[in-house]
Structure 1
Amino acid sequence: PGATLANTSGQYATLVSVDSTNVNANIKGSLPTVDKKVQVNGNGADTADAKIGDTLTFTLTSTIPDMSAYDTYTFNFKDTLSKGLTYGDITSVTVEGVDAPLVKDTDYTVTTTTAAAGNTLLTVGMTDFKNKQQTNAGKKITVTYTATLNENAVVGGAGNVNSATIQYSNDPSSTGTGESEPDKVRVFTYGFTVDKYTGDNYNDAATRLAGAEFTLTAKGDTSAIKFVQVNAGSATEDAVYRVAKAGETAGTTTTITTPANGKVVFQGLKNGEYTLTETKAPAGYNKLASAIGVKVNGSNDGTDTTNATVNITYNNDNNDTTYDQTASNGVIPVQNKSGAILPGTGGMGTIAFTVIGVLVIALGVAWTLKRKNA
């Protein structure tokens, strides 16, 4: 048995074992557990959504056990961060009802190691725990730390699963330890695909267009999101761009370009509304008259074996409130129509041609009237 949690009534469940003629009554109390949460809008949750580069705050909460039967007591928070999360720092370790937070390297130590699979193993070990915390038995103890969603994050699917346990002393007569059941949280990030085509019908046989350039901006922001090209794409492969991490500069771009197969994948987005703007049309085609509004809405049931449900909706006029079309399998078809592009006009296309035509006609009429009046 491990140390029990403090019980204000002084009553614990008892487990009686009968051995021959001897009867042993063993006190059996609750063993240490851990509750892991990710902070969402100031509240703890089992799931969260984020874009690559976002920093998230996690909390690990347990209850200080009754250690009176022990001379010394091991009590460690052990956390496994998925490959898609980069550990940041411990922001606080606090005990319920105690004003002053615990002090690193005095009250606790922090160690991190990287596993072969790329996971980060974080251990927050309590120092001289019985002597310092026995008087606080029964109170909550909470570790708060930060981590950043990185380029290795799983997009959609079952999310980025992270688990925590408590390692604790489980035998007053030895240095043996036990470990609690893990408690897990999941962090999700999402994406969608743009399929650039021309023609009256959108189907597999439609002609795909290379060389269309786009920017993506979160609604309400003035600067386009920075991306890193993961795959340039080809006639048979989609181009893939992921959101750049905070502070990442090498190889980043705000311009997303369609490859020969016309398909480009945007990865690493959180739930929300976005503006997709075509900044340059393929040669010989007219640029879209307006931006496209895109809404990303992913949800999940909090289990680590169930894939997220991701609903991508959009409109063709960047309407702020109405997204009246659903992207099948997360794919948004974007049509370009061919048009007359005058050399040297900077891509003004049919508009420039029409203006020049009107001017020529006007000059011709003026010249005819002048001759008649002469």
Structure 2
Amino acid sequence: MITTKKMTALVAAVASTLSGMALANSAYAAADTNTANDITISSQNGNDSTVAGRTFTAYKIASYSNARFDGEGNAAKVTGYNLNSTVDDAKLRSAIITAITDADGNVKDAYKNVANVVAGQGGVKTLTFKNEDANLSAIQFIAKHFYGNADDVYTNNHANNADTRKFADALRTAGLTSFATVTAGANDASASFNLGDDDLGLYLIVETSHGAANGETISRAMVIGSVFKNGDAYVNTIAGQGDGATDVTVGTIKLKSAKVTVDKEVVGNDQLIGLGSVRTFQIDTNVPNYKNDYQDWTNPVFKVHDNPSDNLTVSAKGDYTDVSNLKVQANTGADGAYEDVAADAYTVSADTTTDDANDFIVSLNSPADFSGKKVRVKYDATVNSVVTGTTVNNTNIEFSNDPYDASSVDTKPSDDEKLYQADFDLSKVAFKNNTVQLDGAQFTVTKNGTDTPVRWKESEDKSYYYEAKDSTETGLTNTVTLNTASLKKGTAFRGLAFDSDDATTYTFTETKAPEGYILGGEPLTFTVKLTPKFGSDGELTGVDYSVNAGKFAKFLDASAISLDAAKPTAGTLNTVGENATGTVYSASATAENTDDLKDMPKTGADVMTYIAVSVAFATVGAALAVVARRRMKAGK
């Protein structure tokens, strides 16, 4: 019911022109002047409900007469008009009684000051209006209390949504004849009823077919007036009446439907993952206003389906009675703050509709109790494997979307959160002949300038190592072995630089050369630096890899990355896009071994070894020369 200063002005206008009806309300969107005499339903702005795919039926409930204008042509404003009901008055009054009374037949508080309902003989109810509405006809009362406007989004500013729906249902049940039905196309942003000049008036519009699931509820019922005819022009503005009243736009109205959305994210920065990494996932969604907008909606359902990839562990027991650090919250606190909901307000269960053992469902036991509220689900997941091309956690919402069909549910609202890992592949080949692949090279790896070797877990097929988060875990090694020839590929180091906002530098030092090749007095040493990059929202946007091989540059081919630590990769290497299938950043390098000591960088030890070998060769040569000279003398 209208209680604002603007509606006080409207009541005054109605009282002063008993046979007319003038409407005033809050600010309106600009009218669509291209629709001529049509009534247009448009989609809501932004990420709100859409008209696409919906079917609407219009019922004419009143026609205009004696319209008065201020101004010329379509620039004029309507200053007064008469409403002439096109529906039997008894049907109108019966529908009004249904809308404004509660389950016990009593007039609701919102209407007690303007209407009386009295049960007469045989239970027949009589409706009368009083006080400021005493002189209104039934159709005028409807126009005043159930009228929608051009740009209100989730409510009819001049009516309670549930009351409008009950009024509409009662009229339709009474046998109201429809004017027309329209269906919006799959990509349409609006739907229009094509009115002729004789069809202008007040209409009840009801969505009669919800169409394909689109993440939205069925539209609320709407009461809207068409444009007015002013000579050859069409006028879509009713002048506001009284102080503070604003003009009313007619002929167009925004769709009145609740849209369910879902957003899933990791709490904090979206750091790279490694084996044993723990991430807190947060799911934010909203519950339709089942209780207030649709009071006759019984037993709606609202479920949050969670589908983590198989390398994420969410329940130690697997029966989902212990989802790790699970919290279900609603914005029921002061100023919309989130608060934990009671444990008996929801149920957690395995999702038997999928093949994945770690999928689960959080179901609200009584969704109507959360009508119009935002709901948040939070829990922890642990990475149990980094041997995968994709780590992703998907969520979709299942909710009731049609009060007339208890079996009608929508499962379209969905979102996923990807977790990214960084890998590095290292191969071993012969110096200056990379077609000769080598086995048996061994390295130790330290991290961020420390002397403590990284502890690695080796795969059974010896094709990859992953860094252990828990260095005390059994079965770990400080030494990694490259078997490029046997594997026919490089050895992968998986899940690097995990759980960090900052750059991580790994130092690889060769400790054993392949058989037949030289380790050297100062073994091959190089660094690999991984720098995660984050957006302003904390989302990972890429990973920079850079390599510094120093004096060993000629023994390391990392041309796909960078051999100059001062000039890391420009931009991001192998950026994984938002819609990409995989979630692994990777880079590769090839280390080379020589069997010729002269190829090695000349450290002190290497120089002395080279001199010793040279002296030995020189001594042998001198001895041979002496022998040769003696033989020559003997021959003489």
The TM-score range, normalised by the shorter chain, is 0.5 to 0.7
Tell me, yes or no, if structure 1 residue 240 matches structure 2 residue 464: yes
Match of 1:105 among 331, 336, 343: 343
Tell me, yes or no, if structure 1 residue 180 matches structure 2 residue 424: no
Tell me, yes or no, if structure 1 residue 25 matches structure 2 residue 217: no
CA distance in 1, matches of 2:276, 2:511: 27
Tell me, yes or no, if structure 1 residue 332 matches structure 2 residue 589: yes
Match of 1:53 in 2: 276
User: Between Structure 1 and Structure 2, which shows a larger proportion of strand residues?
Assistant: 1
Backbone CA RMSD of aligned residues: 4.5
Kindly tell me: are residues 243 and 144 of structure 1, through their superposed partners in 2, closer, same or farther at Cα, counting changes over 3 Å? same
> 1:225 Cα shift?
3.6
CA distance in 1, matches of 2:339, 2:451: 40
**Residues 94-148 of structure 1 deviation map (CA, whole Å, 9 limit, x = unaligned):** 22252673356322222235887546212111122323x34xx2x4221111112
CA distance in 2, matches of 1:222, 1:168: 56
CA distance in 1, matches of 2:385, 2:330: 35
> 1:151 Cα shift?
1.4
Match of 1:128 in 2: 366
Match of 1:361 in 2: none
Match of 2:262 in 1: 34
Indicate conservation of the 8 Å contact 1:293/1:320, yes or no.
Answer: no
> 1:191 Cα shift?
1.0
CA distance in 1, matches of 2:352, 2:271: 24
Match of 2:519 in 1: 286
Tell me, yes or no, if structure 1 residue 87 matches structure 2 residue 320: no
| Partner SS state of residue 212, structure 1 | strand
> 1:160 Cα shift?
2.2
**Residues 320-341 of structure 1 deviation map (CA, whole Å, 9 limit, x = unaligned):** 963558999822122334478x
Indicate conservation of the 8 Å contact 1:92/1:144, yes or no.
Answer: yes
**For structure 1, which runs of at least 5 residues remain unmatched after alignment?**
42-46, 234-238, 302-307, 341-347, 358-374
Match of 1:67 in 2: 290
> 1:185 Cα shift?
1.9
**Residues 40-62 of structure 1 deviation map (CA, whole Å, 9 limit, x = unaligned):** 42xxxxx7632232111211101
Kindly tell me: are residues 196 and 87 of structure 1, through their superposed partners in 2, closer, same or farther at Cα, counting changes over 3 Å? same
AA of the residue aligned to 1:34 = V
Indicate conservation of the 8 Å contact 1:32/1:180, yes or no.
Answer: no
Indicate conservation of the 8 Å contact 1:83/1:152, yes or no.
Answer: no
Identical aligned residues as a percent = 21
| Partner SS state of residue 106, structure 1 | helix
Match of 1:296 in 2: 530
TM-score by length of 2: 0.42
Max radius of gyration: which structure? Answer: 2
CA distance in 1, matches of 2:505, 2:279: 21
Tell me, yes or no, if structure 1 residue 204 matches structure 2 residue 442: no
**How many pairs does the alignment contain?**
320
User: Between Structure 1 and Structure 2, which shows a larger proportion of helix residues?
Assistant: 2
CA distance in 2, matches of 1:241, 1:117: 30
Tell me, yes or no, if structure 1 residue 263 matches structure 2 residue 472: no
Indicate conservation of the 8 Å contact 1:102/1:108, yes or no.
Answer: no
**Residues 254-304 of structure 1 deviation map (CA, whole Å, 9 limit, x = unaligned):** 321111528321122247433232251225522554632213357899xxx
CA distance in 2, matches of 1:114, 1:56: 24
CA distance in 2, matches of 1:216, 1:170: 57
Q: Which has the higher contact order (CA 8 A, sep 6+)?
A: 1
Match of 2:146 in 1: none
> 1:20 Cα shift?
9.2
